[in-house]
Amino acid sequence: MPPRRAAPPPIPPPGADRPALVVVLHGTRSPAGSEDAELLRRRVCDRLPGTRVDVGWVDVHEETLERTLPAAGPAIVVPVFLSAGHHVTHDIPTAIERTHGRARTTSHVGPDLDPALRDRLTELGPLGDGVVLAPAGSNHERANRETRATAERLSALLGRPVEVGFFHSAHPSPAEALARLRTAGAEDVSVATNALLPGLYQKRIAALGLPTTRPIGVHEALIEAIVRRHLAALPHRPY
């Protein structure tokens, strides 16, 4: 028989002294993106009754993570990012360091979101014979390698070729990724938006003129990834 999976740490009872959860997002100028962020916060709250849940931003917004953490008190920080770029490897640890041990961070959620990418593609209707995975791209090659690994896993999940097309900071571009699929014989290509919240980048992706998924948004896989990381990072002590 396969080994039994370890049960997640229990949720402390309401009113217990426990760390807050700070969900860290990049930031967006899109009103729809801000609305999705608040909806995500509320959905996570529903899964963790009695736990304070805040949103911290690393860019765009004035309410940055460095302002959020002091107000939250002792906290577990979950980076809601698809890959470990500069914000994950530098900005978030720097903000946490300034709490002098009152906050700790978990791993970012990206590796757990393949099912969400698949589901967003399914929403478009019958899947064609190729997919462009369209992420932002990063100046950190490690983050771009993570994205390419996501494309490989998604290709195995879908049974179709998936090419990465970065819409800035890295190559190939979405148009170049599409050209690669066309050269390989793909005729019915869709675009998987590899982003969490709505943003201005959607106009650049729309220029391809292909069926394109909406961002991952408030998907159950994202909620589960956040909650699981928070519970696993709770101090191992009785409540």
pLDDT values of the chain reduced to their tens digit, one per residue, 239 residues: 444 444 444 555 444 568 999 999 998 888 888 999 999 999 999 999 999 999 999 987 777 898 999 999 999 999 999 999 999 999 999 999 999 989 999 999 999 999 999 999 999 999 999 999 999 888 889 999 999 999 999 999 999 999 999 988 888 999 999 999 999 999 999 999 999 998 878 888 888 999 999 999 999 999 999 999 999 999 864 43
Q: In b/e form, how buried is each residue of 35-64, taking b as 16+ CB within 10 angstroms?
A: ebbeebbebbeebbeebbbbbbbbeebeeb
- Looking only at the bridges linking them, the beta strands covering 75-79 and 103-105 are parallel
Quote the DSSP letter at residue 3: P
pLDDT given at position 209: 93
Claim: this prediction has a pTM higher than 0.85: yes
pLDDT given at position 167: 86
pLDDT given at position 235: 83
pLDDT given at position 201: 80
- 131 C-beta neighbours (distance < 10 Å), count: 28
Rounded CA-CA distance 82/84 in Å is: 7
Q: By three-state DSSP, how is residue 134 classified?
A: strand
Among all chains, which residue has been given the structure tokens 């969900």? Answer: 23
pLDDT given at position 214: 95
pLDDT given at position 21: 98
> How far, CA to CA in Å, does 141 sit from each of 138, 146, 149, 230?
7, 9, 12, 28
pLDDT given at position 16: 52
pLDDT given at position 131: 98
The encoded tokens of residue 160 equal: 């179709």
From 116, 131, 130, 118, select the one nearest 82 (Cα to Cα): 116
pLDDT given at position 6: 45
